[in-house]
Chain A
Amino acid sequence: MRRGLMQWDPEELPVAVLETRIAGLRAAMQGAGLDAFILYTNLVRPSAVAYLTGFTPYWSEGLLLVPAAGRLVFATALSNRVADWIRATNPVSEVISTPRPGKLLGERLAGDAAVKRVGILELDAMPSELACDLAGAAPAIAWIDGSAPFAGIRRRIDAAEGRLLTHADALAVAALDQRATTSDAGTLAGLVEQHARLAGAEEIYVALAPDLAADRRLNRVSKPVTLADRFAVRASLAYKGSWVRRTRTFAPDGAVAEADEWFAGVVRGIEVGTPIASWLAQNITSLPGATLEGWMVERCVGSYPLAVTASSRSPGDDAPTDGGFLVLAVELRLDGAPWIGSAPVFVGTPHF
């Protein structure tokens, strides 16, 4: 549950930026023949609504209606008292508190004779009660999956998002520097989390592989566990709705410095249009004694903060696009020992 700093700052995220994003979605709607668009949000699937409004729910859920013109409507089962807080963090929507958000928005749509086709982001995954209420209130409307047009407007990030992501990454980097003072994994997780939250992180998930040589899988730590010589820590961190992931491997005597440096170079050098699989294959030869065990690319293309779009198991279309943002995770075996890392990547020429 969200419990870090949740605040809308008009200098960080001006209303004009949100209006430009909304206009982008409306253009995509027009291209897809959609008369309106509906987006679902909860704290696990916050990113599409946050992109358009700046708002993330700390609890519960809601639906955002983007009509073809006019003010957006955010309907939520959160109570009227919480609606004041939502208005303070969501400057572009009418906010309505109702026990049946689907029914309310369905009735609104049904009341507009011009609305025939409505796009829904991630239609198949819409919670059934909301979907049923929408359909029940507006039986004549055709509901269309709007995931592709929405992903289209998320191919490039704007300057405001770039700055928020940069700040989120700075918090993650600083938080992961807290490792030196303890040999207990739970205490280390607490230190990393404390540092990030004190610095204003909205959320952070800390995961560790306490003995990387024994098991490369990372998990949150909920009992005392002694850290081995070689361990890894992952910080998945949000600042004002913008998410990054950073993973670092720690080992004594600078044993991972060369891999760290190699990975930083790989990230810096990622080029528009060059598939990640090719780029890594091309670069791994420059790290003596290393073999590439796996990789993964995550992007924000829908309601999830980060979702896997390509990996060594399923490369797909992994060529980075200009102005895009992604998180690259890599697993290596280096002179027989494991190394894992992940970092955010701004693709092409940053315009912020």
Chain B
Amino acid sequence: MIADERRARLIEAMADAGLDTLLVYGNAWQGDYLRYATDFGILEGQALALVRSDGHVSLYLDSPLEVDRAELDCPGVEVIHARDLVATVDGALNRLRNQRIGAAPQRLIPRRIALRAKELNLSDQTAFVDRLLMAKMASEIAAIRRAVAVADEGYRVFMQAARPGRADYELIAESEAFFRARGVDDNFQIIGVGGTEVRGMAPPGGKRLKRGDLVTTELTPCVDGYYAQICRTLVVGEPTPEQRAAHTLYRDAMEAGIAVVRDGVAAADIARAENDVFRERGLGEYTTSEYTRVRGHGMGLFADSKPHLLENVTTRIDAGMTLIVHPNTYHPAVGYLVLGDAVVVTQDGCEVLTRTPRELFSVAA
């Protein structure tokens, strides 16, 4: 069981770090720290968990519906319904005085508890858990492989759903139905439909597909808690020469980034390799934050895991990390365009997990 392996690794790391207890926070947006410690994939409300150095885990939830789910999903974890979550955990922490307590992610720990950090001997251990989240065990990489495979299938479903006249949210509805039937718990997905007026992806807003539109999506299914991403672009009808040329640029940039990935490089090296391709072709402006967010990121228990691939991120890339390399950005001739493949880092390079061809796809208009 991945969950058992994770917890054993966490307890061992806590011992090495001299921590008696770890306090973790989670919700359906930022759930990775909680999932690592408890294996619970929270949907509603908020949760705090206390992980003790002897392996005992108490999971506090403010939703009774989530308590039912946690009891079913998390054997071996003490599940506690706390209608006033913050007050209940605050009280529980009172009983742990004289212990060394770590907290993660510190920035989301509720104010009432954070204000008592000194009194409770509570220290920020976000980076400590981040290291565990980034460096994957073999069982975690196996889960990500499964998620990548279902992402490939999900993109085919998405593509088959795309046709003129359909609304953007209908395309996502079709892929969601496929995902639920295939055991996918969750999915992060945004979409862009149109041409040069589209400057990024967002949730669907009811826009209907028409001939000539670029349809971009970032599809991120979650299998056994692990998110894997694929980024692809399709055209409604035959692509124009400008669209084809733009796609070639993005493919070259992505492949340049992937070529750099290996144990020991920095996140910045990968981003720089992608961006250099844009700069060489006079489009360096479109690698800045005005037009794009990141050039890729980690994949794991969070849809947008660390490390972020940016030219100012010096995080070392280690063998066993899983990444999406995506030079997604705005192109002045065709609009926002995306392309991204998932990889697992090896000692001397990386293994590309994504199987979907790196094509600019076309659907009948």
Contact = CB atoms under 8 A, between A and B. Distances in A.
A206 interface: yes
A205 B86 contact: no
B327 to A, nearest CB: 15
Interface string B292-320: 01000000000100000000000000000
Interface stretch (A24-32, A57-65, A106-114, A272-280): A57-65
A43 B108 CA distance: 14
Nearest to A189: B180
B181 A190 contact: yes
Contacts of A187: 180-181
Contacts of B86: 124-125
A305 B188 CA distance: 20
Contacts of B114: 128, 131-132
A194 B175 CA distance: 8
Contact of A186 (B72, B107, B180, B190): B180
A20 interface: no
Interface stretch (A150-158, A161-169, A219-227, A344-352): A219-227
B174 interface: yes
Given A125-B46, A125-B110, A197-B169, A190 B189 contact: no
Interface in A54-108: 58-61, 79-82, 84-85, 88-89
A308 B66 CA distance: 12
A123 interface: yes
A308 B290 contact: no
A3 B172 contact: yes
B154 interface: no
A307 B83 CA distance: 9
A61 B105 CA distance: 15
B203 A3 contact: yes
Contacts of A236: 44
B178 A190 contact: yes
Contacts of B43: 205, 220
Nearest to A57: B29
A191 B178 CA distance: 9
B96 interface: no
Interface string A131-143: 1100000000000
A328 B101 CA distance: 40
Contacts of B291: 81
The winner among B109, B170, B202, B303 for most chain A CB atoms within 10 A is: B202
Contacts of B46: 44-45, 125
Contacts of B71: 217
B206 interface: yes
B200 interface: yes
Given A3-B190, A84-B199, A304-B45, A190 B177 contact: yes
Nearest to A81: B200
Interface string B178-213: 111111111111100000000110111110000000
Interface string B74-116: 0000000001011100000000000000000011111111110
A219 B64 contact: no
The winner among B107, B169, B179 for most chain A CB atoms within 10 A is: B169
Contacts of A130: 107
Contact of B183 (A3, A44, A60, A223): A223
B123 to A, nearest CB: 13
Interface stretch (A4-12, A258-266, A317-325): A4-12
Contacts of B178: 190
A283 interface: no
Main secondary structure of the interface of B (DSSP, over half): mixed
A43 B64 contact: no
Interface in A156-212: 184, 186-187, 189-191, 193-194, 197-198, 200, 205-207
Nearest to B178: A190
A74 to B, nearest CB: 16
B107 A129 contact: yes
B65 interface: yes
Contacts of B167: 5
Contacts of A45: 27, 46
B29 A80 contact: no
B107 A218 contact: no
A296 interface: yes
B32 interface: no
Given A1-B186, A4-B172, A88 B205 contact: yes
A116 B46 CA distance: 31
B69 interface: yes
Given A6-B205, A44-B27, A207-B69, A197 B172 contact: yes
A128 to B, nearest CB: 3
B28 interface: yes
B29 A222 contact: no
Given A88-B205, A132-B114, A59 B289 contact: no
A128 B109 contact: yes
Nearest to B43: A205
A44 B45 contact: yes
B341 interface: no
Contacts of A311: 64
Contacts of B200: 81-82, 84-85
B73 interface: yes
B285 interface: no
B176 interface: yes
A59 B190 CA distance: 10
A6 B177 contact: no
B15 interface: no
A218 B68 contact: yes
Nearest to B191: A3
B265 interface: no
28 contacts: A1-B28, A3-B188, A5-B204, A43-B29, A44-B28, A45-B46, A81-B200, A85-B202, A125-B110, A126-B110, A128-B108, A128-B109, A128-B113, A128-B114, A132-B114, A186-B180, A186-B183, A190-B177, A191-B177, A194-B173, A194-B177, A207-B69, A217-B68, A218-B65, A219-B68, A219-B69, A219-B73, A314-B83
The 7 closest A-B pairs by CB, nearest first: A194-B177, A197-B173, A128-B114, A129-B107, A190-B180, A217-B68, A124-B112
Given A1-B189, A6-B203, A45-B46, 4 more contacts: A125-B86, A197-B173, A218-B65, A304-B45
